[in-house]
């Protein structure tokens, strides 16, 4: 919280909500052998595959907002669990393409159902998943996520004493 603020800052609330959501999803998908991060990866991959795409790890990292190295680590774990296949991209030997296995599709469909029910519960105070308040909330979150952040200004002698 900031000085002079009558309550929590928006940043603090977003952080708390994100943590609440992550913990809830972790618990909900644990019986399926997934973590929240793994769920985010396989659910995104599921949607991309349904749209006819076989994304690279880089493309999936960009889509999910996760670091490429983290996506690689998750993909290896999911491959070991038999949920995804990782293959070299024939057009770019440096790139690795990802695809859900049959088992991966089945587990992902189950997980999507579980998380959908959880999302309905989380959004009930706004009227539920299809409510106007939820659509407005989603639009506001999208606006914030789409806004670029300025790169940090290096702390060197040329910038000391100047104000933005």
Tell me the C-alpha distance between 39 and 60, whole Å.
Answer: 13
Q: DSSP 3-state assignment of 31?
A: helix
Query: Can you list the positions of beta strands (E) in the chain?
Result: 84-89, 92-100
Rounded to two decimals, what is the model's pTM? Answer: 0.82
Where does the pLDDT of residue 4 fall: very low under 50, low under 70, confident under 90, or very high at 90 and above?
Answer: low
% of the chain surpassing 90 pLDDT: 77
Q: Using one digit for the tens of pLDDT, what is the confidence trace for 126-144?
A: 999 999 999 999 999 999 9
pLDDT bin (cut points 50, 70, 90) of residue 156 is: low
14-39 tens-digit pLDDT: 999 999 999 999 999 999 999 999 99
CA–CA separation, 53 and 45 (whole Å): 9
Q: Of the candidates 101, 111, 58, which has an alpha carbon nearest to the alpha carbon of residue 80?
A: 101
Residue 158 pLDDT > 80: no
| pLDDT recorded at residue 70 | 96
**What's the pLDDT at 20?**
95
* Average pLDDT over the chain, rounded to an integer: 90
What are the tens digits of pLDDT across the range 59-74?
A: 999 999 999 999 999 9
């Amino acid at each position: 919280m900031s000085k002079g603020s009558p309550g929590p800052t928006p940043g603090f609330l977003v952080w708390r909500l994100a943590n609440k959501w992550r913990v809830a999803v972790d618990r909900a998908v644990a019986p399926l052998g997934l973590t929240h991060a793994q769920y985010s990866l396989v659910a995104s991959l599921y949607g991309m595959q349904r749209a006819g795409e076989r994304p690279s790890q880089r493309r999936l990292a960009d889509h999910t907002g996760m670091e490429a190295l983290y996506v690689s680590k998750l993909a290896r774990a999911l491959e070991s669990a038999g949920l995804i296949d990782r293959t070299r991209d024939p057009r770019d030997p440096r790139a690795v393409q990802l695809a859900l296995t049959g088992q991966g599709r089945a587990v992902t469909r189950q997980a999507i159902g579980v998380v959908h029910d959880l999302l309905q519960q989380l959004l009930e105070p706004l009227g539920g998943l299809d409510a106007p308040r939820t659509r407005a909330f989603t639009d506001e979150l999208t606006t914030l996520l789409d806004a670029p952040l300025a790169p940090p200004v290096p702390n060197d002698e040329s910038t000391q004493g100047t104000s933005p």
